[in-house]
Amino acid sequence: MVFFLLSSWNTVLDFDENNNSLVCREINNQLPSVTVEIKDTKAEIKIHNAEPISVSEDMSLKPGMGSTIFDIKYPSRSGPYISLMFHGLYMSATSTGTVAVDKTRNFSWETFRIISQEDLNNLSHFLNNSWYIRSRKEIISHHEISGSGDFTIRIGNFFSTNTEDLIEALEKSNPKEVILFHDVWKTEFLDLFRPAVYYCSFGRPEGFECLKMSISSLREYGEYSGEIKIFTEKNHEYIKDFLPNGNFDRISIEKYTALDNVDYMSARFDTESISSLNEYQPILYMDTDIIVKNPIETVLRSIISDKTHQLQVFKEVDDITHDIYWGNELFDDDPASEKPNFGFSTGIIGFKNYQEISAFFKTIREIIFRQSTIWGTRQIIRCFDQPVANYVLGKFASLGSELLSSIVINFDMEYNNSPEDKYKSYVDNITEVIVHFAGGVGAYDWKLEAMKRFLNCLEEGSSSNEA
């Protein structure tokens, strides 16, 4: 059978083209080109399952010189662990990645774990992502997860686990939640922390100018370096051209054909499209008319740690009966529903897991389409996305409003034309993370200039602080 090899440092055997020799490197998202084929008590190491390697004069392992057949020896450690011996010497791996056949003993550095591709992929996923530790309410970065020798993995400053327990835990877990044992019986629940922010932008250039400012503020003032997805009919080059240099890193364009206003406004709920978010959590949707003023990680941490609510929303009103924007008519027409005690905006929505909310989002789109049949057209229906979202999520989902209501503020238009000193004082006193320039879909006649002025004020403030 063919396997990969892990060293006791939890590094993986691979080929270094620059030095033309085998090394042990950190586990990343690339599969190693070096495999080991085991037949009974013999083992042969190959590159790409084809080119054999052999022991060179300097005791390193190199290709192009024929094949070395190793004798398999079993160390005292139980499980799928082996040592490889040739002419009485054992292959070893150091903490710096050097691999050689140079040891006369059979201890930790001379021990390797054979591992399948599936288990290696699982291990790579764990080691190269950040995780939220529920019991400690802490996020551990992938930079803080490391091998510490003797097949032990250190999880930050919190605890260590052995490689065997971790591989077994990953086999039994799903990619977004790991139940991990350490110190024999102690238990931790770890949630994948791989956030994504997504936007939907279509049509007029002014809308993309808003998107540009929103992304720029998210990167700079929100201090967000994670994944951004843009659902748009525009191509990769169009988006890249209008974004500032450096802001395009970790941005992916999801091609989306929006047929009319109904699609423009409900694309954020199109499950067939946003299913690409399934590998991320937590997830934040934001309208393009949003400026991020302060670091956004506190928002993402709160979403991932919420055990009670499926979605986080921004409460705009306490009483939904005063207008149609929060689904009042729909609740009135459905006697099986109960009116909620607040109405929320669909300009910003946070959720932990795409799978948990996908059925709700799909239902929102379905109701919008069904509503259009009442009037015989999609252009004069009584409710676009926000009323329907309030109805569906208010009736069926578990909504939390405290988080976003504490960190989101709607921009006060009274200050838009105020003198500079008064305007600056207003901006400086905003402590919320997110500023939403709400007030009409596509109302770029005022939104664009208002967002520009706000962002300029932030930039001037940053320049003053740096000086």
| Residue pLDDT, tens place only, 93-128 | 999 999 999 999 999 999 999 999 999 999 999 999
What are the two backbone dihedrals, phi and then psi, of residue 401, each rounded to the nearest 5 degrees?
Answer: -115, -10
d(CA 58, CA 80): 29
What's the pLDDT at 5? Answer: 98
The residue-averaged pLDDT of 429-446 equals 86
What's the pLDDT at 467? Answer: 52
pLDDT tens figures, 388-406: 999 999 999 999 999 999 9
The residue-averaged pLDDT of 125-145 equals 96
Q: How many CA atoms lie within 13 A of 352 on its CB side?
A: 19
What's the pLDDT at 249? Answer: 80
The residue-averaged pLDDT of 245-273 equals 86
pLDDT tens figures, 143-188: 999 988 999 999 999 999 999 999 999 999 999 999 999 999 999 9
DSSP 95: T
Per-residue pLDDT at 334 exceeds 60: yes
The residue-averaged pLDDT of 436-462 equals 87
Say if pTM beats, i.e. exceeds, 0.75: yes
Is 22 exposed, middle or buried (CB count within 10 Å of its CB: 0-12, 13-18, 19+)?
Answer: buried
Q: What is the mean pLDDT of the chain?
A: 93
The answer for residues whose C-beta is within 8 angstroms of residue 418's C-beta and 6 or more apart is 426
Long-range contacts made by residues 351-354, C-beta under 8 angstroms, separation at least 24?
Answer: 351/282, 351/283, 351/303, 351/310, 351/311, 351/312, 352/191, 352/281, 352/282, 352/283, 352/303, 352/304, 352/306, 352/310, 353/176, 353/281, 353/282, 354/274, 354/275, 354/277, 354/278, 354/280, 354/281, 354/283
